[in-house]
Structure 1
Amino acid sequence: MKKWMRITGWSVVGLTSLFFVQSGIQKLAGTEQMVDMFLKLGYPDWSRVVVGLVEIAGAILLALPRLTLYAAAALGILMIGAVASEMLAGQSYGALLAGQWLILLALIAGARLRFVLYSKSRSGASQG
């Protein structure tokens, strides 16, 4: 793999990770915007804390190469829930924002899966 592609890929992963850390901290801190959002979506206050913890844990795991695929998948599932919640609440703008993160996480997971499969096929070919 070309060096610039690897650097670009990890830069995207790093920025995505920073976004989810920041978002998780806002949820845990109980900023007015986050409290209002969860109330408008019809969720109890404790769910905001759980989502914040999942976002922070996912962001940390996203930055670890061996766990990037799994973290992207877990955060993607969280974003599917966010898109569905926003759509059900009639918040199309919020659904679009969550949807963009879902797409980016799917691209990260797909790229990481491709890399893992490529690495396995190369190591299998060199052993045979």
Structure 2
Amino acid sequence: MTVLSIILQSILGLGFLMFGFMKFGSKQMVDEFGRYGYPGGFRIFTGLVEVIGAVLVISGIWNDKLAAWGGLFIVGTMLGAIFTHIKIKDSVSKMMMPIVLLILGLIVLLINFDSLL
């Protein structure tokens, strides 16, 4: 485990904890998921997946396999976010955060990929 990996996993994990918990009750997230055409239950499900991914990535500081699984959760979630933005014809600027988070999640996954095999 490199220092860069620890820093990346910490930032990604803390960010996804925040994003995940926002999905549970933030008025902004309620409005956004309504704009996307998704039901409230999907917003809660997405929040749970993000929190689980965050916990796995943070726990992955001590266990490479957990980091890989967390990266996989984050990559899947961000692919869904990007496809949602494409579906509703959002501008590329609205997709930048999910794209950056997808790349960071991929880096964590690739750094720890061998532990999945």
TM-score using structure 2 length: 0.87
**Alignment partners' CA distance in 2, 1:84 and 1:95:** 9
Which of the two has higher C-alpha Rg?
Answer: 1
Dislocated runs of 4+, deviation >3 Å: none
Listed as ranges, the gaps of 5+ residues in structure 2 are none
Q: Is the 8 Å Cα contact of residues 84 and 95 (structure 1) preserved in structure 2?
A: no
Q: Which residue of 2 aligns with 1:96?
A: 96
Q: C-alpha separation between the residues in 2 aligned to 1:36 and 1:94?
A: 15
CA contact (8 A) 2:50 2:73 kept: no
Does 2:3 match 1:7? yes
**How many matched pairs?**
112
Q: Is 1:31 aligned to 2:26, yes or no?
A: yes
Tell me the amino acid that sits aligned with residue 57 of structure 1. Answer: I
TM-score, normalised on structure 1?
0.80
State whether structure 2 residue 58 is matched by structure 1 residue 63. Answer: yes
Name structure 1 gaps, 5 residues minimum. Answer: 121-128
Q: CA RMSD in A?
A: 1.8
Pairwise CA distance, 1:97? 1.4
Percent of aligned pairs sharing the same letter: 28
